[in-house]
Structure 1
Amino acid sequence: MSEVESRKSLVDEPSGQSGARRGSQQKTPDTATTVLGLLPAPELPEKVAAHLAQILPGLLRSEVGESSDWDIEVVCDPLTGGMGDPAEILEEAEKRKHQHGWDFVISITDLPILRQDHVVVADAVLNKGVGTISLPATGGILMHRRTERAAVYVLKELVSGTPRSDNRAGGAPKRSQPRKHVTWRTGRWPLLRYLAPIRRIVPHDPQVAVDVRFVAAPRLHAWLRLLEGMVRANQPWTIFPAFKSVVAVAFATGAYGLIFPTLWQLSDTYGPIRLVALMATSMAAMVFWLIIAHDLWEKQRAGGSPMLMRLYNAATVLTLGVAVVFYYNVLLALFVIAVVLFVPPDLLESRLGHPIAMLDYVKLAWLATSVATIAGALGSGLESDETVRNATYGYRQLQRRKAAREETA
């Protein structure tokens, strides 16, 4: 099954119950067992949850307290994955907690959460034993490490603020108890605490009933990390396999252009600045055409956040930009091979009027790649909108766009 078909099957799946209990340790009579449920959507959140399931049992035992062993259950839930409202995510996570009999539950989303001018990394509702983590707020680099840190922070709050007897299924919600003392150790993430600080606040949010919130800081860096994380959530490296036909059209166009000596002479005449400008123009043209041809630019909706719309659009441009850079480099490698194999050195030297070196071949391949990329931009319009959207966006983003289209239909 292709990458695009795999994404589509996940989007169409009505529910996910593929759960697994992990992280069990050998129990002793004096050691209690705490069960943590991780509730991710498919694709990137599910991969992050699988990593957390492996690392968290030992990490929680050392960071939160040694009086309890931890069992981790991962349940991939596409239904919860389609929600974009933080309050709805927390509500559905609580339902899943009671359904599976977990002590605590953390929902993992790959949609950004912006509340009261803060970039939200994680939320915790103490009396319900429920938390949520927003992956984009952790940034695109070292996402796993930052998510580990966010998960430990949330669980420290839940353990210190939620009585054990209130967590099981069927227990009536009670007011959160006074915060117990929890040791905050700094051994695992000393550098991250300086490079990507997370600030704990007690929000007064009228729309989302949250007891403790962790936000990214400082604010400017938080927005940059959020955008970086949104691009990572879209997984731009998965777009290339969906454009096999575009690559074929582009390579055929460039290879045909190599027949004509005019392209050879132009590559010899052009300097590095002109070649770089042509490369940037061709890649920008492809990104622009993909967005226009397949309606990837989000428009402001009634009641929607203008800032969030700008972030989505910026993430789309950057996602496609990363994908097109990868696409360009693959084409460049193909053209270097084609030029070396099919352009005779003697004929190239006679046409250019000077001895040739490997640099001349590289410049010719570079120019051919830029010309082919422009042709590929036009050819990308032949791909279906569904193929391009499934390849460009992550699961939750696809669900969110689908819901937006249904609202405006």
Structure 2
Amino acid sequence: MAVKNVALITAPGLAKRLGDDLKEELPAMLSYYISEEYEWHVELHEDPLTGGTNNSTEVLESALKRKDNAGWDYAVALTDLPLFEEEKPIVAEVFKDRDVALISFPGFGAVPMHKRVREAILQLMNEIHFGSSDADREEAQQRIRSKDNRYDDLKNKKSTRLVGKRMMEIVSPMKRETPGESDPDIVVRFTLKSRITGLMRVVSGMVYANRPWEMFAAFGKILVIAFTTGAYAFVFGTLWQLNTTYSIGRAVLMMIFSILALTIWIIMGHGLWEKKSEQSTNFIRNLYNATTFFTLLISVVMYYVILFTMFVIWTLFLQPPAQLEIYTSEPVGLATYLYTSWIGASISTIIGALGSFFENKEVVLNSTYGYRQQQRHEKIEELREKEEEEDKE
């Protein structure tokens, strides 16, 4: 049986982790979805250029060069960078007659990323193997109809669709394009139809790629300062008296203000806001800044929920109701503890956390697109210099 080698060329970070998860399960699925006539081998290769440019042509050409040099049969590049065609989000492309494809997974949105990327790889390989004309797609569709439902979690049962229909595809549908003369190098391209919902989907995918839950580990110092400040304040009567005078509307406004204030402080205090540069357009820069803001906002909300929970536990165990009734002049129940802890979390965030800095700044920087791209550019330059030195020798 002939062997077909498929290389997944990934950007560092999340793309590589996705590739690691997929390389074991793809061979059997390629046999099922494409052809049983071959033995499919899938291997993984990391390439900083795949995650170092917003130009899809550069990524495809780099993947083609690596494919030809290594002697692979097919190559699929996975990037965590957003790609656009005249500010229209690109999700995937196939290089004409080159057996090379590209996936920009922010275009899939936030979740479930693994399943969408897997289905997209299978569909692009299907496009490469069978072809992208209407007749080719009908042939591919007949093969799909002839197969059993061995892989129930593969939702894509249509040969012209990149991924199966889920809620995200209903809210922000994809469009299959065959550029033809307008872009002769691309045989098929999948984009997001609506610019507005498409951008929302891309930003959610970029936030997912930033993995805000991993960045939360850097909040240790800020959490300790805020909790210490609040725990001390709970010993006295002021916070408990606010419980009787603060309306719910005022408490909500204070919570929103404290969360936004800490988010903006982290961005400004750590230089995370992208400034104008020759390397990126205003459109890309604004996209990166929006992603940074929402990534940190999610992390700060997680911090706030944990701080609130800590205050609830602290007050329930260490503040007896009889003492609190002296401050509030009314009966104290669970609602009193919850409401006062809520107010305390907001005040502690404003007083205790603002002005604090992360001990591990690298964790925060690695969760921003601009910094990761800068690191990859530096690595690309190092590799190019190394290649030039080897050529001279």
TM-score by length of 1: 0.79
For 2:175 and 2:35, the matched residues in 1 are separated by 22
Spell out, residue by residue over 1:346-366, the C-alpha distance to the aligned partner (whole angstroms, 9 max, x if none): 110122111110010111111
Shift of 1:288: 0.9
Q: Which residue of structure 1 aligns with residue 382 of structure 2?
A: none
Q: Which residue of structure 2 aligns with residue 235 of structure 1?
A: 211
Amino acid at match of 1:158: I
The 1:304–1:293 alpha-carbon spacing in structure 2 relative to 1, beyond 3 Å, is: same
For 1:228 and 1:272, the matched residues in 2 are separated by 30
Shift of 1:180: 8.0
- Cα pair 2:60 2:102 within 8 Å, conserved: yes
- Whether 1:247 and 2:194 are equivalent positions in the alignment is no
- Whether 1:273 and 2:246 are equivalent positions in the alignment is no
Q: Which residue of structure 2 aligns with residue 120 of structure 1?
A: 90
- Whether 1:191 and 2:165 are equivalent positions in the alignment is yes
The 1:239–1:180 alpha-carbon spacing in structure 2 relative to 1, beyond 3 Å, is: closer
Which of 74, 82, 104 aligns to 1:104? It is 74
Cα RMSD (Å) of the superposition?
2.9
Spell out, residue by residue over 1:253-300, the C-alpha distance to the aligned partner (whole angstroms, 9 max, x if none): 111211221111012322222211111110000011111111211123
Spell out, residue by residue over 1:370-389, the C-alpha distance to the aligned partner (whole angstroms, 9 max, x if none): 11211354243364654431
Amino acid at match of 1:77: D
Spell out, residue by residue over 1:139-176, the C-alpha distance to the aligned partner (whole angstroms, 9 max, x if none): 102222221232122112222359xxxxxxxxxxxxx9
For 1:239 and 1:113, the matched residues in 2 are separated by 25
Which of 50, 55, 65 aligns to 1:85? It is 55
- Cα pair 2:221 2:358 within 8 Å, conserved: no
1:10-409 matches, within 5 Å, as 31-78=1-48, 80-161=50-131, 182-184=139-141, 185=144, 188-189=155-156, 190-192=164-166, 194=170, 197-203=173-179, 209-302=185-278, 304-381=280-357, 383=359, 385-390=361-366, 392-393=367-368, 397-402=370-375
Shift of 1:250: 1.1
For 1:180 and 1:368, the matched residues in 2 are separated by 61
DSSP-derived class of the 1:72 partner:
strand
Spell out, residue by residue over 1:93-143, the C-alpha distance to the aligned partner (whole angstroms, 9 max, x if none): 123223433210111100100112321111111322111110100110222
Amino acid at match of 1:289: W
The 1:205–1:134 alpha-carbon spacing in structure 2 relative to 1, beyond 3 Å, is: farther
Larger RCO (CA under 8 A, 6+ residues apart): 1
- Cα pair 1:120 1:214 within 8 Å, conserved: yes
Structure 1: which 5+ runs fail to align?
Answer: 1-30, 163-175
For 1:294 and 1:202, the matched residues in 2 are separated by 44
Aligned residues: 359
The 1:126–1:206 alpha-carbon spacing in structure 2 relative to 1, beyond 3 Å, is: closer
The 1:374–1:342 alpha-carbon spacing in structure 2 relative to 1, beyond 3 Å, is: same
For 2:183 and 2:359, the matched residues in 1 are separated by 41
The 1:405–1:95 alpha-carbon spacing in structure 2 relative to 1, beyond 3 Å, is: closer
Detail structure 1 runs of 4+ shifted over 6 Å in the superposition. Answer: 204-208, 403-406
- Cα pair 2:207 2:292 within 8 Å, conserved: yes
- Cα pair 1:246 1:379 within 8 Å, conserved: no
For 1:328 and 1:272, the matched residues in 2 are separated by 17
- Cα pair 2:10 2:77 within 8 Å, conserved: yes
- Cα pair 2:96 2:185 within 8 Å, conserved: no
Percent of aligned pairs with the same amino acid: 35
For 2:284 and 2:139, the matched residues in 1 are separated by 35
For 2:241 and 2:181, the matched residues in 1 are separated by 65
Spell out, residue by residue over 1:212-235, the C-alpha distance to the aligned partner (whole angstroms, 9 max, x if none): 211123443222111110110111
- Cα pair 1:243 1:380 within 8 Å, conserved: no
Shift of 1:205: 8.9
For 1:111 and 1:208, the matched residues in 2 are separated by 23
For 2:194 and 2:49, the matched residues in 1 are separated by 33
- Cα pair 1:119 1:222 within 8 Å, conserved: yes
DSSP-derived class of the 1:329 partner:
helix
- Cα pair 1:389 1:398 within 8 Å, conserved: yes
Structure 2: which 5+ runs fail to align?
Answer: 146-153, 157-163, 380-393
For 2:266 and 2:64, the matched residues in 1 are separated by 40
- Cα pair 2:107 2:201 within 8 Å, conserved: yes
For 1:150 and 1:197, the matched residues in 2 are separated by 14
The 1:280–1:100 alpha-carbon spacing in structure 2 relative to 1, beyond 3 Å, is: same
More off after superposition, 93-102 vs 39-48? 93-102
